[in-house]
Every structure is written in structure tokens, then in C-alpha cells.
Amino acid sequence: MSPDPLPADDATLHALVHSIEEARQPLLRLAQGLAREAVCKADVLACELAELTGAGYTAVYRFEDDGSPVLSAAHGVEEAAAEAEDLARRAPAADGGGVAVPLTADGICLGAIVALRAGGPFRIDEELVAAVAELAASVLAADERIAESRAEARRDAVTGLGNRRAFDERSAAALDAAAAGAGSASLLLLDADGFKDVNDRRGHTEGDEVLREIGRVLARSVRPEDGVYRLGGDEFAILVAGRRAAAMRVGDRVRRALRTHRRAQLPTVSGGIAVAPIDARTVGDLVRKADAALYAAKAAGRDRILVYEADRTFSTIAAGPAGAKAQLRALVVDDDRGLRELVRTILEGAGVEVDEATTARRARERVAESTPDVVVLDLGLPDDDGLALCRELKETQPALSVLVLTGREATSDARAAGADAFLRKPFGPLELIDVVEELAGGESPSRATRSEPAPGARQSQLLARDLRSLLELERGQRLMLQRAYRQTVSALAAALESKDTSTEAHSKRVQRYALRLAAEVDPLLAEDPSIEYGFLLHDVGKIGIPDRVLLKPGPLTRPERRLMETHTVLGEQLLSDVEILQGEGLQIVRSHHERWDGGGYPDGLEGRDIPLAARVFAIADTLDAITSDRPYRETAPWSSAVAEIATHAGTQFDPAIVRAFERCEPALREIYVSLAA
């Protein structure tokens, strides 16, 4: 039997009964909503808390490490936001028209929920809000534990980078986006050169530290939108947002950073690049093609990055350049660790691949596994006589070259055992290299049998002697090369000056500005020797522009403008074979008229697809253009140039580089004043 209806004029009692009857439904919705994964639980919590309590405004806050509340979700009129935040800071608190209860789980305060009444005779039920907070806190804490577990499952234990699982998920999403027309994604696979030797010679503990340091270098070398992963062993992957040029720039930064690393001696890396969707439309295909390019980089001599070429088969790429000379292989047999490391260091410096054995038994196994070109053999072995091993090797493999190292008079014995050559300890590094190369080439060593160290000479003295000789030779060659480069640049600059008398002074000024700005943006970029020449020769393509267009005092017509814009491509073609300009330097010449918003030329590149050095140069070029005379206008004040550059941040210029410009503007002004003096 239904209860008697309530008096219609008793609105207060009617509202109370209605609230009781409806209370079960929001509680059920709250529990169901918090149990779902694909929802914003803070939104569900704020909305259902308002339904449960009849509050006019509800809010969910999460606390920062310093205890300050950060709004996650809210429901109701925004005017109450300030009052709610103040109440959240004091949680637990009840202040007349509102209640704030902390979200606490396992003794940790995650945040707070706040309910402010909407007016009327009813107060917010503190116990109800507390019950909701307890339920919500347990769910949110469980979610955090799940999230941490998922993150841990996708993190490499050694380096802290993403692991193979994280890579597979991120690369699949990147390829889906590329297939949908959201731009290109590049995969840069990297392999640490000679890392096996690090583990063999320094131990796995130190090897792991080297991997961690490589991981730190990679993480510092990429942009925020790129991802770095360790796939296993010494193999790393970088997912780069953009095309091949973007991936090459990341690879160049990585290689420079590894070379200039000061805290540890890190190995070089070889790399391969493939691009989606141009080269591949599946993750597996993208990895295979990047790996093929990586293998080609290894075969071509290591310490380089190659791009996958679609018109070449995997086998052709893996074979490396046609006619490439095979790397010499040497087996060093000696139980003295110090001597083995000395010989290894000398021979690897000459491009020889080195394997080691500490006993005669191990040497036999190594030769049986893979025959080297040369065996470098010490006579004093712990398990057998070195001469006996020499005799055995020559009898079983007559074509195998054996070089004997000895500290005693053993010339006749070594010859009787079949040794092809011997060196008496101590020996000079250059002598060792000469003998190994001659033996591997099938020649009769010219110096091996007459290596006679000076009386009382030590190994360190011979090392110092040869090092001095090498340094003198290298210094002379470097000076000759630098002189040749400067002569080339001077000739090109002179040719350009002959067409436009203002260009030489402009080139020198803008070079100074750009180098200083580059140092502010990225010190590693400023250390790239190619950018100095790229900054100086950025306009060299104007040599091919007719004088009637180049020297025209008034505005250019549309056809004249198109012709003038070809100078960037002409300049790149003119300098494409100059070794010192390869990389960022050549990219400056081609891309220094690109714009951040994509409205530049010649390629219409946008944002970070524009080479970094070219983005730096664009600001330096504008600075000089405004503050110096041009055929079509007079000099403007320095302040006008600074204001103009700031105005075009985000349209013509990279905003981050504009901020760097503002930081070093006083130093740039000093350059301006000194050049004007």
C-alpha cells in the first residue's frame, strides 16, 4: 500500500524525501564511473559529488609536492572557484557553507575534494563527503600504482630510457599518424661501435655505466617531440618527428655530443635512418630498413650515419661501397694484459680489427674459429712455449702470417719456428703498424728483422717518439688543409664581392652575429666547423644572378623575385663537394631564407624541419639587413632591428631562438659597435 501523499505545500519535506530516494543512484554512478578506465575520473567525481550532496559547486584537487592544490575538475559556477581552493588548502575543513576532505590513501595525501552548498536550508553532509573521499582516494591510489607499474614495464632497467615494448607502442602510433597524413616519422637506429670490447676489457659493470652515459647523451640531444629507447644490448632507437633531414640533424648532434663528452670515454656510434611512410608503412618494415642502413654504416667503416635508399636491395646495402677494402684482422697472443692493451690500442688506431688470446690453447681455438690475417705472438705463454705454437700454426696454415714479439735474443729460433717477422721489445708503434700491414699484404717486412731499440730505451720513450712524429705530421696536414679551405672560401667571397660590393662586409658581419647567437642557442652547434663557412658563404649563389636583378635599386618584379630566390639552390650546388661544408654548413646556404611559419623558400620548410643553424642565421641576417645600408633603403637604428625581430617571433623566426637573441643582444650590439668603428 502506497504511503499517503505529502502535503503539496511542504516543499522542504518533499525535497528531503526526494533526496533520500535519489541518493542511491548517484552513489551507483560514482562507483561505476570510478571503475572505468577510459574516463576522466576527476570529472566523474566532481559531477557525482554535486548530485550526491546537492552542492552548488564541487571541485577535485591534486596536491603538488609542496602541498599547493592544482584543480583537476570542477562542477558548478566558476565564481566559487577561489573560495573552494582556499578551503582545499585547509582540508579537512568545514566552513559554514562548504566542506573540504582530503583524499588520503596509505597515509599519503593525494589531494582534496570540496563541496560548497548552493544556498537554501540544507547543509553539506560532512560524513557523506568523507565517505566519497575515502572511496575516491582508494581508486586514485590504485590507478597510480597501475600507472607506475605500466611505466616500469616500459622502462629499460639499465638506462632508464624506454624499452622495446615502449618503442613498439610509440612507433606504431607514429606510423598510424603518418599514414593518416599527420606528417612523417623517422627511425634512427644507433649501435655503439666496438662495445663488446668495453665489456671484455673493462667488465660488465663499467659497460652498463657506459650504456647509461650514452643514454643520457641521447636524451639531451633530441627534441621534446622525439623519443629515445634502448632496444637491447648496445642498440638504441630514436623516433624523430620529421623527415630524413630532421633525423640526420639529430644524428649529427648525437655524434658531436659523444665526441665532446668530458665525463667518460664513450664509443662512437653507427646509425641507419628510415622514414615512414616513404620507406615503410609497418613498424617491422621500418626497423628492417633502418637496420639495413645501420649495417651499411658499419660496413663502410663505422662512426657514421647512413640513410636507407629505396632503390637498393638489403644485400647491396649490407655489402657496403663497391670495391671497399676489407678490414685487416689481427690476433694478439700474450698473457701480459698491459702489452695486449698496448698492441690493441696501436693497431685499432690504424684501423685493424683486433682479437685477443691469453694462452696457447685459446689461440688455437681463435684461429680455428676464424683465421686472422696476422698473429702477433709473444714467446712467453703460461701453458706452452710460444715457439712451439708458432711452429704448429705455420705447419697447419702455411699462409698465416706470424709476427713474434720477444724481449730476448731469439732471432734464429723464431726463424726456425717459421715466424714471418719479429720485433724486439720495446718496439715503436709505427714499427708495429708497418710490419702488420706488410705481413697482411703478403709483403716481406722491410723493418722487422732490423728493429733494434737504443740501449736502455723504454717502451714509453718509443711511444713518445712516435707520438711526436705523428703529431708533427698531423699538425702539418691540418694546417695545409685549413689553408686550402681558407683559400677556397676567400676565392668564393672575392668572386661574390666582384658582383656586389656590399656583400663581403655583410657576410663578415652576419657571420660574427650568427656565431655568437649559435653559441647562445647550442654550444655544440657553435663547435661545428662547417657553420662558420656556411655563415660566410650563405649568399655565394648570387654569383649566378644577373647584375640587372642583383643590383636593382628598386623593388623586384615577380619574375625577378623568383630568379633571385634561386640563389639558395645555386649556392648549395656550387658548394656541394666542399668537405668542410657538409652538414649544417651546406644546410645554411640552402635554407637560410626559410620561415618558421612555412612561408619561406626554396623548400617551404616549417618549424623545426628547418635546420637549426639556418634558423639561427635567419635572425642574424635580418639584424644586419636592418642595421646596414641597402640599395633600396637606408640604415635603421639598432632598436628598430631588435623590435622587428621580436615582432616576428613565431611567424618568421623560431621563438626559442628569438629568446636566445634577447639574452645575448648586448653582446651582439658590442659586435655591431666594434665593426662600425
Q: What is the CATH number of the domain that holds 16?
A: 3.30.450.40
262 or 519: whose pLDDT is higher? 519
Give me the pLDDT at residue 463, please. 53
User: Minimal CA–CA distance to 87: which of 107, 45, 115?
Assistant: 115
DSSP 263-304: SS-PPPEEEEEEEETTT-SSHHHHHHHHHHHHHHHHHTTSS-
> How sure is the predictor about 504, in pLDDT bands with cuts at 50, 70 and 90?
very low
Please tell me the least confidently modeled range out of 14-23, 318-327, 435-444, 586-595: 318-327
> How sure is the predictor about 481, in pLDDT bands with cuts at 50, 70 and 90?
low
Give CA–CA dist 190/287, Å, rounded: 11
Mean pLDDT of the chain: 78
Give me the pLDDT at residue 477, please. 54
352 or 270: whose pLDDT is higher? 270
Could you report how far apart the first and last alpha carbons of the chain are, in Å? 105
Question: Cell digits for 336?
Answer: 701480459
Is residue 654's pLDDT more than 90? yes
Average pLDDT, stretch 410-436? Answer: 77
Last residue of a domain, which of 98, 127, 152? 152
User: Minimal CA–CA distance to 588: which of 538, 624, 525, 542?
Assistant: 538
Is residue 449's pLDDT more than 50? no
User: Which CATH number goes with the domain that contains 303?
Assistant: 3.30.70.270
> How sure is the predictor about 318, in pLDDT bands with cuts at 50, 70 and 90?
very low
Residues 203 and 306 in one domain: yes
> How sure is the predictor about 448, in pLDDT bands with cuts at 50, 70 and 90?
very low
Average pLDDT, stretch 177-206? Answer: 83
452 or 558: whose pLDDT is higher? 558
Catalytically annotated residues: 234
CA atoms within 13 A on the CB side of 425: 17
> How sure is the predictor about 443, in pLDDT bands with cuts at 50, 70 and 90?
low
Give CA–CA dist 273/255, Å, rounded: 14
Over the stretch 600-628, which tens digit does the pLDDT of each residue have? 998 889 999 999 999 999 999 999 889 88
Give CA–CA dist 218/228, Å, rounded: 7
User: Minimal CA–CA distance to 595: which of 603, 585, 584?
Assistant: 603
User: Which CATH number goes with the domain that contains 398?
Assistant: 3.40.50.2300
Q: What are the residues facing 115 on neighbouring strands?
A: 58, 99
Please tell me the least confidently modeled range out of 285-289, 410-414, 455-459, 548-552: 455-459
Give me the pLDDT at residue 655, please. 95
Residues 109 and 34 in one domain: yes
Is residue 411's pLDDT more than 80? no
Give me the pLDDT at residue 459, please. 47
Over the stretch 30-64, which tens digit does the pLDDT of each residue have? 666 666 654 578 888 888 888 888 888 899 998 88
Cβ count near 173 (within 10 Å): 13
Give me the pLDDT at residue 316, please. 39
**Cα 284–chain centre separation:** 22
Give me the pLDDT at residue 514, please. 92
Over the stretch 290-300, which tens digit does the pLDDT of each residue have? 988 888 888 77
Is residue 377's pLDDT more than 60? yes
Is residue 171's pLDDT more than 80? yes
Residues 142 and 169 in one domain: no
Question: Cell digits for 478?
Answer: 691540418
Cβ count near 152 (within 10 Å): 10
Q: Whats the size of the chain, residue-wise?
A: 677
User: Does residue 572 form part of some domain?
Assistant: yes
Give me the pLDDT at residue 489, please. 60
Give CA–CA dist 453/434, Å, rounded: 16
Give me the pLDDT at residue 658, please. 95
Is residue 491's pLDDT more than 80? no
User: Does residue 481 form part of some domain?
Assistant: no
Give CA–CA dist 162/165, Å, rounded: 8
User: Which CATH number goes with the domain that contains 627?
Assistant: 1.10.3210.10
User: Does residue 214 form part of some domain?
Assistant: yes
The amino acid present at 411, given as its one-letter code, is T
Last residue of a domain, which of 264, 297, 319? 319
| Helix intervals (H) in 397-553 | 411-416, 429-440, 459-499, 503-521, 523-526, 529-536, 547-550
Residues 121 and 54 in one domain: yes
Is residue 302's pLDDT more than 50? yes
Cβ count near 212 (within 10 Å): 17
Average pLDDT, stretch 643-667? Answer: 94
Contacts of residue 37, defined as CB under 8 A and 6 or more positions apart, other chains included, come to none
Is residue 594's pLDDT more than 90? yes
Give CA–CA dist 453/149, Å, rounded: 65
User: Does residue 423 form part of some domain?
Assistant: yes
Element (H, E) at 373: none
456 exposed, middle or buried (CB, 10 Å; 0-12, 13-18, 19+)? exposed
Which residue matches cell numbers 678490414?
A: 327
Give CA–CA dist 171/285, Å, rounded: 12
Last residue of a domain, which of 319, 348, 364? 319
Give me the pLDDT at residue 68, please. 81
Give me the pLDDT at residue 648, please. 95
User: Does residue 6 form part of some domain?
Assistant: no
Domain range spanning residue 590?
A: 487-676
Q: How many helices (H) and strands (E) does the chain have?
A: 26, 15
Q: Are 646 and 652 in contact (CB under 8 A)?
A: no
Q: Are 376 and 340 in contact (CB under 8 A)?
A: no
Residues 516 and 451 in one domain: no
> Strand locations in 77-192, DSSP E?
93-95, 98-105, 108-117, 185-192
Cβ count near 302 (within 10 Å): 17
Distance set, CA 489 to CA 273, 294, 504, 611, 617 (Å)? 32, 34, 12, 22, 18
Residues 241 and 302 in one domain: yes
Give CA–CA dist 93/61, Å, rounded: 14
> How sure is the predictor about 457, in pLDDT bands with cuts at 50, 70 and 90?
very low
Is residue 67's pLDDT more than 50? yes
**Cα 567–chain centre separation:** 32
Buried b (16+ CB within 10 A) or exposed e, 408-426: eebeebbeebbbbbbbbeb
Question: Cell digits for 130?
Answer: 568523507
Residues 188 and 293 in one domain: yes
Handedness of CA 47, 50, 56, 59 (dihedral sign): negative
Contacts of residue 409, defined as CB under 8 A and 6 or more positions apart, other chains included, come to none
Distance set, CA 411 to CA 334, 360, 404 (Å)? 18, 20, 9
Q: Are 453 and 426 in contact (CB under 8 A)?
A: yes
Q: What are the residues facing 330 on neighbouring strands?
A: 354, 374
Give me the pLDDT at residue 475, please. 54
> How sure is the predictor about 456, in pLDDT bands with cuts at 50, 70 and 90?
very low
Average pLDDT, stretch 515-540? Answer: 85
Give CA–CA dist 653/19, Å, rounded: 60
Give CA–CA dist 2/673, Å, rounded: 96
Is residue 337's pLDDT more than 50? yes
Residues 199 and 230 in one domain: yes
Element (H, E) at 597: none
Give CA–CA dist 167/162, Å, rounded: 7
Which residue matches cell numbers 632508464?
A: 160
User: Minimal CA–CA distance to 453: which of 465, 441, 443, 445?
Assistant: 465
Question: Cell digits for 376?
Answer: 702477433
Contacts of residue 563, defined as CB under 8 A and 6 or more positions apart, other chains included, come to 545, 546, 549
pTM of the model: 0.38
Q: For the chain, what is the domain count?
A: 4
User: Does residue 121 form part of some domain?
Assistant: yes
Please tell me the least confidently modeled range out of 12-26, 47-61, 575-589, 646-660: 12-26
432 or 605: whose pLDDT is higher? 605
Over the stretch 97-144, which tens digit does the pLDDT of each residue have? 788 899 888 778 888 999 988 766 667 888 888 888 888 888 888 777
Residues 141 and 179 in one domain: no
Q: Are 216 and 168 in contact (CB under 8 A)?
A: no
Average pLDDT, stretch 562-584? Answer: 78
Over the stretch 72-81, which tens digit does the pLDDT of each residue have? 889 887 778 8
Give CA–CA dist 222/245, Å, rounded: 14
Residues 352 and 403 in one domain: yes
Cα–Cα–Cα angle for 238, 242, 244, nearest 5°? 80
The amino acid present at 447, given as its one-letter code, is R
> How sure is the predictor about 598, in pLDDT bands with cuts at 50, 70 and 90?
very high
Average pLDDT, stretch 536-548? Answer: 80
Residues 170 and 125 in one domain: no
Residues 377 and 423 in one domain: yes
Cβ count near 288 (within 10 Å): 15
Give me the pLDDT at residue 663, please. 94
